[in-house]
Amino acid sequence: MAHGTLVRLGAVLVCVAIVVAAIGFASTTVRAAKATLNVYTAVEADDLKKYAARFNEDHPDIEIKWVRDSTGVITAKLLAEKANPQADVIWGLAATSLLVLKPDGMLVPYAPKGLERLDTQFRDKDNPPAWVGMDAWVAALCFNTVEAQKKNLPKPASWKDLIKPVYKGTIVMPNPASSGTGFLDVTSWLQLFGEAEGWKYMDALHQNIGVYTHSGSKPCTMAGAGEYPIGVSFEFRAARQKRQGAPIDIVFPSEGSGWDMEATAIVKGTKNLESARTLLDWSVSDKAMKLYNEGYAVVAISKMSKPIEFLPDNMLQHMIKNDFQWAAVNRAKILTEWEKRYGAKSEPKK
């Protein structure tokens, strides 16, 4: 009897273990006949099916398995997996993130076919390049017209406008220590105004900030929902908010905007180097550029860029001359300074 109970108890445990193992392995052992690429990306989640489908029109024999998350999470994941990389290709991650991965020797340099057609600023400087660009996203202001009218706020036209006292407590921007978009804002001001003037500008801007967010999209979403009238965000999110019905104007400050690009690279350690190269070749093709252009106003072959709804035609001229290398090298220093100035006195404004 006692023995029977023990057996039953043991049997339950074994069953449970088998079920878990079976389900676990079921999801790993399914192997299709065609080549599979694990592709890490920060591209908008709803665009992924479209990206894979377009690629498969030309290369039906390569299946893409996406791992998609925000820029920060994907970058952290890639770095943490360094000892045993799981990704074959990175397709659609910020160039500033790839600049972090490159010195660690995590990328396989490769010159995709047609590389020479890309604008020089849209590729890694080395030959062959460690990564190649896809498209740019550009800093922009989301300005809520409904709330502005209620509060009698004039529409800002420049970065310098934002430090006027009238905007006190009305601006949201991403925290550069949490968000790549926040960091590109800060580095753009330091490049535009010079280091000393740039920090002085941020000191003044800090007085007008209602709240700092942890995500680069959030400020525009919040502006769209009227939580705060002005969001420092980027053009892609702004256009999308507007399409969804947010009562916002999209402002490109007259001094020019900071920007970053989405880029593609092969991850060192891939067992599918041939397929990975095929994907990279395709990622700079005309067809791919047209695909990127459906969401982004400026693509890596800039003369192919077609205007996007709600965005100006001359986007390229709004983009500052951005020194990514300088920003990457000085990142820790800039963030420490930023945190020292604005992070520590982070009491919420009444």
Partner 1 sequence: MRAFIGVIGLYLVVALALPLGLMLGKSLQGSRDEFVGLANYIRYFSTPALFQSIGNSLWIAILSTAITVPAAFAYAYALTRTRMPLRGLFKTTALVPILVPSLLPGLALVYLFGNQGLIKGLLLGHGIYGPIGIVMAEAFTTFPHALLIILAALALADARLYEAAVALRASPARIFWTVTLPGARYGLISATFVVFTTVITDFGAPKVIGGQYNVLATDVYKQVIGQQNFQMGAVVSVILLIPAILAFVVDRAVRRRQVALLSARAVPYEPTPTRGLDLAMLAYCTVIGMAILSIVAVSQFAALVKFFPYNLTLTWAHYDFDTKGGGGWASYSNSIRLALLTGAVGTVIVFAGAYLVEKARGFALGRALFHFLAMLPMAVPGLVLGLAYIFFFNAPANPLNVLYRTMTILVVNTVVHFYTVGHLTALTALRQMDPEFETVSASLKQPFYRTFWRVTVPVCLPSTLDIAIYMFVNAMTTVSGVVFIYGPTTELASISVLNMDDTGEIASAAAMAMMIFYTNVAARGLHLILARWLEHRTQAWRRR
Q: Determine which residue in the list 14, 19, 53, 166 makes contact with partner 1, applying CB under 8 A.
A: 19
Query: Using the rule CB under 8 A, is 143 a contact of partner 1?
Result: no
Q: Which is nearer to partner 1, 38 or 158 (CB)?
A: 38
d(CA 173, CA 180): 12
Q: What are phi and psi of 21, to 5 degrees?
A: -60, -45
Q: Determine which residue in the list 140, 246, 280, 327 makes contact with partner 1, applying CB under 8 A.
A: 246
CB of 211 to partner 1, least distance (A): 4
Span interacting with partner 1, options 21-29, 54-62, 282-290, 321-329, rule CB under 8 A? 21-29
Q: Determine which residue in the list 187, 191, 208, 215 makes contact with partner 1, applying CB under 8 A.
A: 215
Residue with tokens 């099916």: 49
Span interacting with partner 1, options 44-52, 187-195, 293-301, 307-315, rule CB under 8 A? 44-52
* Bridge partners for 280 per DSSP: none
306-329 per-residue burial string, b: 16 or more CB within 10 A, e: under 16: eebebbeeebeebbbebebeebbe
Q: Determine which residue in the list 66, 131, 143, 189 makes contact with partner 1, applying CB under 8 A.
A: 66
User: Which residues are within 8 A (CB) of 66 and not within 5 positions of it... i.e. 6 or more apart?
Assistant: 39, 41, 48, 52
Query: Using the rule CB under 8 A, is 5 a contact of partner 1?
Result: yes
Q: Which is nearer to partner 1, 254 or 346 (CB)?
A: 346
- C-alpha 67 chain-centroid distance: 14
Q: Determine which residue in the list 90, 138, 220, 301 makes contact with partner 1, applying CB under 8 A.
A: 220
Span interacting with partner 1, options 124-132, 160-168, 242-250, 298-306, rule CB under 8 A? 242-250
Query: Using the rule CB under 8 A, is 309 a contact of partner 1?
Result: no
Span interacting with partner 1, options 115-123, 154-162, 245-253, 307-315, rule CB under 8 A? 245-253
Q: Which is nearer to partner 1, 200 or 240 (CB)?
A: 240
13-46 per-residue burial string, b: 16 or more CB within 10 A, e: under 16: eeeeeeeeeeeeeeeeeeeeeebebbbbbbbbee
Span interacting with partner 1, options 62-70, 124-132, 191-199, 260-268, rule CB under 8 A? 62-70
Please tell me the count of residues contacting partner 1 according to CB under 8 A.
80
Which 154-193 positions form the footprint of partner 1 (CB under 8 A)? 175, 177-179
Q: Which is nearer to partner 1, 175 or 285 (CB)?
A: 175
The pair of three-digit structure tokens given for residue 71, joined into one six-digit string: 């820029």
Q: What x-and-dash track marks residues 74-93 binding partner 1 by CB under 8 A?
A: -xxx-xxx-xx-x-------
Query: Using the rule CB under 8 A, is 347 a contact of partner 1?
Result: yes
Rounded to a whole number of angstroms, the CA Rg of the chain reads 23
Alpha carbon distances (Å) from 119 to 134, 135, 280, 306: 10, 11, 16, 16
Span interacting with partner 1, options 54-62, 125-133, 253-261, 342-350, rule CB under 8 A? 342-350
Q: Determine which residue in the list 111, 204, 225, 316 makes contact with partner 1, applying CB under 8 A.
A: 225
Q: Determine which residue in the list 32, 33, 46, 309 makes contact with partner 1, applying CB under 8 A.
A: 46
d(CA 54, CA 108): 24
